[in-house]
Homo-oligomer: A and B are copies of this chain.
Amino acid sequence: MRIALAQLNVHIGNFQGNLEKMIAAVGTARDQGADIVCFPELAVCGYPPRDFLEFDDFISLAETSIHRLAELATDIAIIVGAPSRNPVIEGKDLYNSAFFLADGGILHVQHKTLLPTYDVFDEYRYFEPAHQYQTVTFKGKKIALSICEDIWNVGNENPRYTVCPLDEMMGEHPDLIINLSASPFSYRQAEERINVIRANVERYKMPLFYVNHVGAQTELLFDGGSVVMSPDGVVYAEMPYFQESIQTFDLQEVMTQKGPGEQTREKIALIHDGLVMGLQNYFGKLGFTKAILGLSGGIDSAVTAALAARALGPENVTGILMPSTFSSDHSVKDAEVLAQQLGMPYEIIPIAPGYTTMLSVLQPHFGDKPFDVTEENLQARLRGMILMAFSNKFGPILLNTTNKSEMAVGYGTLYGDLCGGLSVLGDVYKTEVYELARYINRVQEVIPENSIVKPPSAELRPDQKDSDSLPDYDILDQVLFQYIERHQSPEDIIEQGFDEALVRRILRMVNINEFKRHQTAPVLRVSTKAFGMGRRMPIVGKYLS
């Protein structure tokens, strides 16, 4: 038996486009001699469809796609994820289902059992868990079908869950396991995925075919990396990261031979490639081709520009240099060198005229109040206004360049440098932004060395440095990581050796700035805890604040 894994990039709600893509993939799989072609979880409608699932009409469109695919399943079987209606009145209205289509119809449906409802996941908001488990037999092979999280409770050892769906199927003695996934990327995910697949294979002593979604759905990245594992727990093949791929595997060969094995992985390279895909898909799925961003000469805008140039082509990324009276000489020069090295267009628009006018407009109302954060923010907002005017006039999407460290402590101006349709680096700590810059420069200098080595500054008042108001990023990022990713208490973090006053100050900054994060662009998620849908905090709370 030959099994094709179709690691596709579908688009949420784009039933027609997704169906066409799947029909083409069925053709490819057939050409590769496949008996079965497998698509990812909820491939028919895209993952996560979120509250679109609450529209009856949306579910009907998914049903139509399933019927269209079933008609194609004549000389080849199709396994595909789609929402399906729960016929029982009690419980949630839907299941998250794997359809086994063969002989022109629906041969079998297995619903998902383990419904992740944490971090970015809301599955129990929509879906009823499976209460029945059954294998499906095709061409003499008994197949245990599972969906994503279903394989993440090996032998019931995951404390989140009380059922292990594959355990329930083993009484039927299946020959192989197939898993349809839409498992969001983080830089640790590929390794964890292989570990959990291995744990299943070692428990059940049979091969596992795992097909993952690839592509970005707004902030969520899916890295593909579909896996075929031999019954001895060795990776037979791992499909590419961050690109579509359709590959067919011979079950007999998987059982007996050695395959190409797994890929090498490196954290910063994964983050880099994930962000590039995130940018490409955000623009591509919205039907946009051009981006714009402010270039300050600093490291964040330089790295964002380099990623965007890689994703969209440098000719499609315009940099706007907006020096102020407080900008250092090197700022414009560093930004110009960057633009030239990237081969991207740029324009220079000083903010002084707008700043002077606005100061004079406001002066009668502000009287002799001294220069403060108001005037700093005014400069940042003038830049936001200029960038948005370009966006409106010429149609590019504005990219936000704020990094995760700044986003965490609220070091940024709402409606100023926090503007933008997409936050590229909002899940990348400042220290990781430097690593990304070094990675981007690994073959030749793209980002000017000076942007990497100079002390970070917002340049909104004379001789300002980030270190005037923030701890050193080396320390800050460690404390933030303990709090944000690891949910440590102030006491836990202090016990690790960090200064008590500093820890309390940092955690307070994080918590009192929730209102800013509430109004910022979606953040491409590369870590296990990103700002956005996976981190839901009260705005008017009073905890560590």
Contact = CB atoms under 8 A, between A and B. Distances in A.
Q: How large is the interface on A (under 10, 10 to 19, 20 to 34, 35 or more residues)?
A: 35 or more
Contact of A490 (B57, B161, B414): B57
B540 A285 contact: yes
Interface string A414-451: 11000101000000000000000000000000000000
A3 to B, nearest CB: 30
Contacts of A118: 125
A389 to B, nearest CB: 5
A136 interface: no
Interface in A512-535: 515, 518-522, 533, 535
Contacts of A124: 117, 124
A112 interface: no
A51 B537 contact: yes
Interface string A216-246: 1110000000000000000000000000000
Q: Could you say which of A13, A372, A492 has the most chain B C-beta atoms within 10 Å of its C-beta?
A: A13
Given A55-B489, A56-B487, A519-B520, A539 B385 contact: no
Nearest to A366: B393
A182 to B, nearest CB: 13
Contacts of A52: 537-538, 541, 543
Interface in A20-57: 46, 48-52, 54-57
A369 B394 CA distance: 10
A426 to B, nearest CB: 13
A381 interface: yes
A59 to B, nearest CB: 10
A473 interface: no
A216 B390 CA distance: 39
Interface string A359-385: 011100110010011100110011011
A350 to B, nearest CB: 8
A539 B357 CA distance: 37
Contact of A125 (B91, B117, B217, B390): B117
B386 A362 contact: yes
15 contacts: A11-B541, A12-B541, A13-B538, A51-B536, A52-B537, A56-B489, A57-B491, A117-B125, A122-B122, A218-B539, A282-B540, A285-B540, A347-B365, A354-B358, A518-B522
Given A49-B538, A373-B392, A381-B385, 11 more contacts: A11-B541, A14-B542, A55-B487, A55-B489, A90-B162, A122-B536, A218-B538, A358-B389, A362-B386, A362-B393, A369-B393
The 8 A-B pairs with the shortest beta carbon distances in the complex, nearest first, are: A13-B543, A57-B489, A374-B392, A14-B542, A357-B357, A415-B415, A13-B541, A374-B393
